[in-house]
Structure formats: C-alpha cells, structure tokens
Amino acid sequence: MIAKAKSISHGINALNYITGVSANKKHPEKIFHICDNFLPLGIDPLGIWNSVRLDSMSRPRMKNNLIRIEISPAPEHTRNFTPDNWKQLWQDFVTEFDRQELKDKKGRLLSPKTNLAESKSTVWLHLESDSGIPHLHAVVSRLDENGNINNDRNIHLRAQRAAERIARKRGWQTAADINRQSVSRDCLDVLSQMRKWSIDDYFARLEAKGYDVKVRKDEKGVIRGYILKKGNARFKASELGKGRNLMASKLEGTWNKLRPNQERQTKADSRESDIRPDYNDYRPDTRRVDIVHDDETHTRFIPEQVMRVFDDEFDFREVENWADLINEACYHFAVAMSFMSFLNAPTYVSGGGGASNNDLPKKRDDIEEEIARARRCAAAARSKIGIVRRKGIRR
C-alpha cells in the first residue's frame, strides 16, 4: 500500500480532476464518490473550492490551502471492496495520519498532530488509470473546523507512515516490503551475472544500478556489513533476500548457489540438451511463486514469460478468482516441467507436442513451445476451477 500527500494552491484544478469534471479525464464514468466531510450534500467542485477559500480568508498568509492525498492499496487486497470498505479505509488512514507527531533526531517537535478528521474533505475512487488498479483521491482543507491550520511540514512522510501502519495492521504488503523485494531482486541479479566471485565487483555492479553502497568494516578491514541507499530509502543487508542470504558473510555462498548449472556439471554432462534449469533458486527472468497444493506451499521461480501468459489469461481486472486460477496453472506447469514431484499429477499437460523428455527451452522453437505449454496449463486450470467474472462497482 502506497500513499502520497502534498499541500497545494491550485485547488479547483485538483477538485475537477478527482471528481471527473476535468476534460483531461477520459473515463469519468469510472470515478465514484466515496464520502464528504463537513460539506453540503451534492456540492460540486466549484462549491467546495469557494467554501475552502472563504474559510482561508482568516489566514491570508497561508498560500497552500488544500492537501491532496492519494492512497493506492495493492489490487489483490481490495478486489472485493465495497464503497463502505473504501470509506473505512479512508477513515483508518485519517486516524493514522492525525495521530503522528514528527520530531527531529534530538526530539524537538517539527510538525504537531494534524486534524484531518475535523476538516472539510471529499474522497473519490478512481478505476480509470492505465494500470487498472483502484485508488483513492482526496482533497482536504488545511484549516480544520476550529480554525487551526493542519501543518504540512514533511506531509509526504506522514502519509507514508500512515499507509505503512494500516498495511501492517491489516496484514497487507507495505511499500517498504515492495521496495525491499525489488532491491533483493537487483542484488540477486547482480550475483547471477558475476562469472567470478568478487565482493568489490558486487558492490561496483550495484552502484552501476544506481545504489549508494555504504560498507562497514572491522578493525582488520574485513567487511562485516553494508547498506544500500537509493533516494530516501535505505536497506541493511540483513533485511534483504531470503534467510538473510545477502549479508556480507553469506554473499559468496549465495553466489555459488546462483551460478549456472553448466559451471557445476562435469564435462560429460555439460551438453546443452542435458541441462535442466533448477527453479528452486532464483534465476534471471524468473518470478517467485508460492504454489499451494494439498495444503502445502512450494516456492518456485517460474519463467517470467510463462507468468505473463498466466497474467494475460487471468487478468485481475476482469477475473474475480484470478489468484486461484494462476496458482492452479502454476501447479500444472510445475508438474509438466518436473520442477516438483506431486502425487496424482495430471498427464494432460505433461510433455509438449513431440518434444523430447528434456523440456528446457533451448532455442526459439522451444521457447515458443514453452509458451504454448503455459497456455495449455492455463486451459487446464480454467477447466478445473472455472472463471468468475468481476461485476464491478456501480454508481
């Protein structure tokens, strides 16, 4: 879940945008009103703007008289949300937003608690973005109903922290979790590309990806830890990877596990036709998937091109039970490629149109065959579970 906040002066433009009145909105029919606070029923954007401006006349030195907020939960967390659920999410966000006091490192108060709960606001749900991910837009008055100013210093940090707290309370994936996974993928990608082990080369490659690397050494000059920074985000090595496998002391071992199979096989077994990928560990152009079968969870790294087929076949914007279908399709694909040993494995998706027992896509024809196999697995999942289409949110 991600949240953004900023104080603004161009209030009427923001109000026209979030309510769908703006000519820049291509699909205003996909914008839905969620709730208002301290505003008359049915008031239009111009009416809201005039009301806020009238209140602001008592504070002539306040340049930015509105706060613009955007809240974007992950789609899998909100796929069954009703308007009341979205309203509750907004109210929870306001509660976490208002309770914060921002202080510096010495404990001095930088920004006191805000009072958005007692301020004029309007909240709208947008479904018309290119990504199709539902998200909330809100505009809130800088002045509460008691005439006090909502402090906007570091307001973006206040929004981020509110989103993090809500996500953790609800058991959702947070923005920090998403960023941490992205950084971990970059680290594993760097390790997988290294032909020889060198921690200096590892750090240099990360710096080439835009990371600022801070290394911690002991008195003997031995590297004991490192921190990666990118923008305002910082990540300790102990927070990255799985099982702390990206710590300085474990890096070489992780690199050994990521080395291509060819380098660990004997010369007699190194022929391309005899090599089978190991999807138990991360490899470039793969995606981590937790496959649930018979109440057991198996973590595998499925080729990205296969996962794109499943994503297209079971689009979360159109299919209600997309997660179950993708899980079932991944299970069939894992069985077909012999990534896992399942009992009672279906036979109608194994093999592939005259291909050999080795299903590794070695050439362009084999890559096309792998994609065709993925489509057959998707069809098998569709046949077993069935598709439940989304009904959508109506006005």
181-202 tens-digit pLDDT: 889 999 999 999 898 999 999 9
172 three-state secondary structure: coil
Task: List the alpha helices (DSSP H) in the chain.
Answer: 11-19, 45-56, 75-78, 83-98, 155-170, 175-193, 199-208, 251-258, 261-264, 304-313, 322-336, 364-385
Q: Which two tokens stand for residue 338?
A: 């012999």
State residue 88's pLDDT score: 97
State residue 349's pLDDT score: 43
Q: Name the maximum alpha-carbon separation found in the chain.
A: 85
Domains of the chain: 2-173 (3.30.930.30), 177-259 (no CATH), 272-385 (no CATH)
Q: What is the pLDDT of residues 81-126, one digit of tens each?
A: 999 999 999 999 999 999 999 998 888 999 999 999 999 999 999 9
Distance CA 301, CA 320 (A): 24
State residue 130's pLDDT score: 67
Closest CA to 8 of 50, 62, 61: 62
Closest CA to 370 of 351, 357, 386, 383: 351
State residue 269's pLDDT score: 44
State residue 129's pLDDT score: 66
Contact 291, 302 (CB under 8 A): no
Residues of the chain with pLDDT under 50: 261-262, 264-276, 339-363, 393-395
State residue 368's pLDDT score: 77
State residue 113's pLDDT score: 96
State residue 278's pLDDT score: 57
